[in-house]
Amino acid sequence: MTVPLISPSLLSADFARLGEEVRAIDAAGADWIHVDVMDGHFVPNLTIGPMVVKALRPHTAKPFDVHLMISPVDAYVEAFAAAGADIITVHPEAGPHVHRTVQLIRSLGKQAGISLNPATPAKMLDYLIDEIDLVLVMSVNPGFGGQSFITSQLRKIEAVRKMIDKTGRPIRLEVDGGVDAVTAPQCVAAGADVLVAGTATFRGGPERYAANIAALKGLG
């Protein structure tokens, strides 16, 4: 079975020690750093802005995997790109014109991702799949960490994997929400190759991060 990349979500980190937390998960084997950006409008929570991303950028060389849960999103893309995002993922519903948003992200030299909420069908990708670098399947409703995995999303992961394989392009398939040592192998079996994990990574404190990441990879 594929060993997935792990992108720990900073949503579950100690916000009083974010720089230290980023360095700790880097040293523990994280492949990417997942940054959840929420606006209190598109999703019912507020998190961080581009200034925090910029402040964290010197703490690691790992890719910043920035998930923008904000609407309207276009006005903020350039700021997050300038702050150090490597991958910028947006929702089709955050529009108004998601194809244009993808063009904007790529024009800034960044990788573009599309995120699908639990009720958003895989078919939403039909006219975007050739333009993007990543698909993020949300296996919880976005807005909060610590939620339970929605098992119906495994079928969507399988459907998206088939779409990606047809393109012949190296598009990453990422899953976020309720990912732990039990659900991680289910996601990988369905076709995911990147897993976002907040609670499952940060549980137990820094001395546990390496073991937690190894367990998510199926190596622990």
Binding residues for a divalent metal cation: 34, 36, 67, 176
Beta bridge partners of 36: 67
Q: Report how many domains make up the chain.
A: 1
Euclidean distance between CA atoms 211 and 77, whole angstroms: 34
pLDDT of 112 strictly over 70: yes
Mean pLDDT of the chain: 96
The pLDDT of residue 1 is: 66
Q: In this structure, are residues 81 and 105 in contact, taking their beta carbons and an 8 Å threshold?
A: yes
Mean pLDDT of 101-122: 98
Distances (CA, A) of 10 to 15, 56, 143, 150, 192: 8, 11, 13, 21, 20
CATH number of the domain that 131 lies in? 3.20.20.70
Binding residues for substrate: 9, 67, 143-146, 176-178, 198-199
Q: Which residues belong to the active site? A: 36, 176
Which helix (DSSP H) or strand (DSSP E) does residue 41 occupy? none
Mean pLDDT of 162-186: 97
Binding residues: 9, 34, 36, 67, 143-146, 176-178, 198-199
**DSSP string for 183-205:** HHHHHHHHT--EEEESHHHHTT-
Peptide bond into 63 cis (omega under 30): no
Return the number of other C-beta atoms located less than 10 Å from residue 82's C-beta: 12
Dihedral angle of Cα 73, 199, 21, 71, to the nearest 10 degrees: 10
The pLDDT of residue 143 is: 77
pLDDT of 144 strictly over 90: no
pLDDT of 182 strictly over 80: yes
The pLDDT of residue 52 is: 97
pLDDT of 150 strictly over 90: yes
Query: What domain range includes position 125?
Result: 5-216
